[in-house]
Structure 1
Amino acid sequence: MTGFYHETAFYGSDDDFLAIAVPFVEGGLRDGQPTMIACAQKNTALLRDALGREDAVTYLPGADQYSRPADAIASYRDIFGKHSRQGATQIRTVGDVPHPGYGVPWDWWGRYENAVNQAFAEFPLWGLCPYDTRTTPPEVLADVARTHPYVAAASGEHLPNPGFGNGSPLSNPVADVLEQGSPRVSLVDPTPAAVREAVSAAITGTELTEDNAHDIVYAASEIVTNGLSHGVAPVRFRLWADDSRVVVTATDDGPGPSDPMAGLMPTTATRSAGLGLWILHRTCDYVSMGRDEDGFTVRVSVGGSGHT
């Protein structure tokens, strides 16, 4: 196999999960292929018990591997590149991509599932992304079907996915719960300098760490700069905050970047939405990008327990 064989699987029981994942992993081990598992705690335990091959499988802690989409892409590209340089002709991964069933927002992970079709295309990779239908929301399952060219079944079949690429690439981003209140800052077509000043004043007195405070000021300046440079006026900036968390948005009337990897990889981001967008994807706690009835919005949050 050459290139990236990006496959999903939908399962509704632990037995179905094992029926899909165990033969996939055992096939890689049998053929001497580098094989990695980056699953949530429950699925990792199921696979450890079923496989009994601790020395042959590389277990990547799922929570660490999938902390942020841009980090996950960078980490995986390092791993896949190393194995390719060492002569691997096939690499296998099983990964539980985060979603609301795990208590995290989906927007940027949906973009991840779309972007890796391009980000991993150069590697001889077979990646299996299983989704539990008992806990995965329907809108996430719909996005998964649109972003995976192949689908595996508990029967052992690996087939082209008829839902791949159908309809809109991803569901619309979801507003943060803090946005239900009045914004502390609301500006139209501000300069980046004015945004930095307004944000610095607005977060005074919050419990943000010094790093978080720096990150949100930088992020606010960056998303406004991107809107002014690449969007369609007016650019509307807003900020909401509580004691420990801050959310900022920049909305314009443009379509947003056409590149699915904007913000998720530095090389592509440099050509389109700017290197700064990639930096905030690797430093902030949550980033969403998408278009709705208000326009194209970039949303960033830092601090607290994250997007709710």
Structure 2
Amino acid sequence: MTGFFHETAFYGSDDGFLAHAVPFVEAGLRAAEPTVVACGEQNAGLLRGALGSGTGVMYLPGADQYARPSEAIANYRALFAEHTVSGARQMRVVGDVPHPGTGAPWDWWARYEAAVNLAYAEFPVWGLCPYDTRTTPADVLADVVRTHPNIATAPGEHEVNPGYREGPAASRQVPDVLEQSAPLIEMVDPSAGAVREAVGTAIETISLSEDDAHDVVYAASEIVTNGLTHGVAPVRFRLWADEARVVVAVTDHGPGPSDPLVGLMPTTETLSAGLGLWILHRTCDYVSMGRDADGFTVRASVGSQS
């Protein structure tokens, strides 16, 4: 095969998961293809029990591999490149992508599922993304259908997905729970320096680590700079916080970036917003980007849920 074969499968029981995943993994092992399992503890345990030990499967802890979309892409690309250089003609990956049913916000993972069609296109990889219908919300399942060119309609049956739609996933701007209160800071068309000073003062009493505090100030400054440089005025900056977490949001009236990979992969184009947004995606605990009735908003959160 050539390029990335991106496939999903839906299941509603542990046996249903194994019916899709076990033949997929076993076929890769028989063909001596590098085969990766990056699943949560439950599904990884099911596969270990079904396949036995010493099979040659590379198990990656799902919580680590899917900590952030940008990290998942960077780690997978490095792994795929390593095996390609070593002569692999095809690789296989079965992975549990996080979603609200597993306790993770979905927007940036929806972007991930759409973006990897481009991000992994240069590698001969067959990626299987199984989703548990017992825990996956209906709107997430709809996004999964739209972002996967191929679908396993039944174990062993691999078909072109008629529901696939090329391009970025639709963004749903979901305000953070902290946004139910009035913002601690609200500024219109501020300079990046003014934002850094205001944010630094506002978070002095919040229980953040030194790294998290630095990440908040950087995120606020970078998002405002992108809005002022690439967006359409007015650019509105807001900040909310509780005892251990900070949320910043910047809204402008432009269309937002056209690159579906922006923030998820680094860029060498110094005049684009890609590099700064990529750093945000590597350091913040959550980043969402999209349009709603108020305009185009970039939202980032840092810190632990109280």
TM tier relative to shorter chain: over 0.9
CA distance in 2, matches of 1:304, 1:155: 40
Q: Secondary structure at the match of 1:77?
A: helix
Match of 2:278 in 1: 278
Q: Is the 1:70–1:264 Cα contact (8 Å) retained in structure 2? A: yes
Residues 1:76 and 2:51 are matched in the alignment? no
- 2:297 maps to a residue whose letter is T
Once the two structures are overlaid, the 10-residue window that deviates more, 4-13 or 152-161, is 152-161
Match of 2:204 in 1: 204
Tell me the alpha carbon deviations over residues 88-110 of structure 1, each in whole angstroms, 9 at most, x when there is no partner: 00000000000111101011111
Once the two structures are overlaid, the 10-residue window that deviates more, 270-279 or 239-248, is 270-279
Match of 1:233 in 2: 233
CA distance in 1, matches of 2:107, 2:127: 20
Tell me the alpha carbon deviations over residues 196-243 of structure 1, each in whole angstroms, 9 at most, x when there is no partner: 011011111111111100000000000001111111111110000001
Q: Is the 2:189–2:233 Cα contact (8 Å) retained in structure 1? A: yes
Residue 166 of structure 1 and its aligned partner are, at CA, apart by 7.2
Residues 1:287 and 2:255 are matched in the alignment? no
Q: Is the 1:100–1:136 Cα contact (8 Å) retained in structure 2? A: yes
CA distance in 2, matches of 1:198, 1:228: 17
Match of 1:60 in 2: 60
Q: Is the 1:231–1:255 Cα contact (8 Å) retained in structure 2? A: yes
User: Residues 253-268 of structure 1: matches in 2 within 5 Å?
Assistant: 253-267=253-267
Q: Secondary structure at the match of 2:267?
A: helix
- 2:174 maps to a residue whose letter is V
Q: Is the 1:139–1:171 Cα contact (8 Å) retained in structure 2? A: no
CA distance in 2, matches of 1:155, 1:46: 16
Q: Is the 2:11–2:132 Cα contact (8 Å) retained in structure 1? A: yes
CA distance in 2, matches of 1:232, 1:14: 50
Q: Percent identity of the aligned residues?
A: 70
Cα distance change of structure 1 residues 92 and 166 upon mapping to structure 2, 3 Å threshold:
closer
Once the two structures are overlaid, the 10-residue window that deviates more, 158-167 or 98-107, is 158-167
CA distance in 2, matches of 1:102, 1:290: 23
Paired residues in the alignment total: 306
CA distance in 2, matches of 1:138, 1:32: 37
User: Residues 74-113 of structure 1: matches in 2 within 5 Å?
Assistant: 74-113=74-113
Q: Is the 2:171–2:289 Cα contact (8 Å) retained in structure 1? A: no
Tell me the alpha carbon deviations over residues 94-139 of structure 1, each in whole angstroms, 9 at most, x when there is no partner: 0000011110101111111111110000000000001011100111
- 1:179 maps to a residue whose letter is E
Match of 2:24 in 1: 24
Return structure 1 stretches of 4+ with deviation > 4 angstroms: 268-271
Match of 1:173 in 2: 173
Q: Secondary structure at the match of 2:259?
A: coil
Unmatched tracts of structure 1, length 5 or more: none
Residues 1:36 and 2:54 are matched in the alignment? no
CA distance in 2, matches of 1:258, 1:167: 10
Q: Secondary structure at the match of 1:246?
A: strand
Residue 73 of structure 1 and its aligned partner are, at CA, apart by 0.5
- 1:236 maps to a residue whose letter is R
CA distance in 2, matches of 1:13, 1:135: 11
Match of 2:217 in 1: 217
Residue 173 of structure 1 and its aligned partner are, at CA, apart by 2.5
- 1:35 maps to a residue whose letter is T
Residue 170 of structure 1 and its aligned partner are, at CA, apart by 2.0
Q: TM-score w.r.t. structure 1 length?
A: 0.96
CA distance in 1, matches of 2:167, 2:286: 26
CA distance in 2, matches of 1:164, 1:75: 26
Residue 27 of structure 1 and its aligned partner are, at CA, apart by 0.5
- 1:298 maps to a residue whose letter is V
Once the two structures are overlaid, the 10-residue window that deviates more, 297-306 or 173-182, is 297-306
CA distance in 1, matches of 2:176, 2:119: 28
Tell me the alpha carbon deviations over residues 25-56 of structure 1, each in whole angstroms, 9 at most, x when there is no partner: 00100100000000011100111111114341
Q: Is the 2:167–2:260 Cα contact (8 Å) retained in structure 1? A: no
Match of 1:252 in 2: 252
Residue 23 of structure 1 and its aligned partner are, at CA, apart by 0.5
Match of 1:139 in 2: 139
- 1:8 maps to a residue whose letter is T
Superposition CA RMSD, Å:
1.5
